[in-house]
Amino acid sequence: MITRQNIKPFEFRDLALMGVLSALATVVSVASAMVIHATGLIAVPGLSGFLVGLTTSVIIYVVLRKIPRFGALTIMAAVNALVVLLAMGKPWSALAVLVGGLAGDAYMAVTRGHRGRWSPIVALVVYRGIREVTGLVMPMLIGVTQSRVAFYIMLISILGGICGAFVGGLSGRSLMDRLAKSGVVR
């Protein structure tokens, strides 16, 4: 829920954490995408979306756990959108990332789930799902390809991304629980 405490401006500590972890998410997603391309696994439909979703969701989960406030996911998404815009030059993909982040944050705000155990994972699934759907359906609509096969591949990619976000969220939760238990993070 959006409370008075939640709408306070972010401290620099939070912004620095989001910046550094955004860089990590970018490096990890680029590295996993490169591995998938180099090994030829890109031929398996949906695997790319699954792996990239999994690896980045672990990191975004850590941010959501460290900064349990409205806006954290939106800011991460906005930074990612700017990176997408800067590196790939695709305005609608950047918009898709931003809309996904906003929707995930809105979900957590509505369900008051910033400190819950399942809400961040569902928010990650919402974020990834909207991002994949908007990012992949748009090129389809404007006719990059007109084939039936491309439509099925797109559908499998969306499902792969959603599954990746779910598994990544669970992995992130397990990792954070272990780190908290060992006293590395609070």
- Residue from 44, 145, 177, 180 in contact with another protein (CB under 8 A): 145
Match 């990544």 to its residue by tokens. 168
Please check whether residue 74 is in contact with residue 64, taking contact to mean a CB–CB distance below 8 angstroms: no
The count of chain residues that interact with another protein, using the rule CB under 8 A, is 57
Closer residue to another protein (CB): 66 or 111: 66
Helix (H) or strand (E) holding 31: helix 12-38
Closer residue to another protein (CB): 72 or 125: 72
Q: How far apart are CA 143 and CA 133, in angstroms?
A: 15
In the complex, least distance from residue 144 CB atom to another protein, rounded to whole angstroms: 4
131: Cβ contacts below 8 Å, ≥ 6 apart: 77, 96, 97, 99, 100, 161
Helix (H) or strand (E) holding 180: helix 148-182
- Residue from 4, 5, 8, 86 in contact with another protein (CB under 8 A): 86
The site string for another protein over 13-52 (x = CB under 8 A, - otherwise) reads: x-xxxxxxxxxx-xxx-xx--xx---x-------------
In the complex, least distance from residue 138 CB atom to another protein, rounded to whole angstroms: 8
In the complex, least distance from residue 108 CB atom to another protein, rounded to whole angstroms: 17
In the complex, least distance from residue 68 CB atom to another protein, rounded to whole angstroms: 15
- Closest C-alpha among 87, 66, 89 to residue 76: 66
The site string for another protein over 111-130 (x = CB under 8 A, - otherwise) reads: --------------------
Cα four-point dihedral sign 14, 17, 22, 28? negative
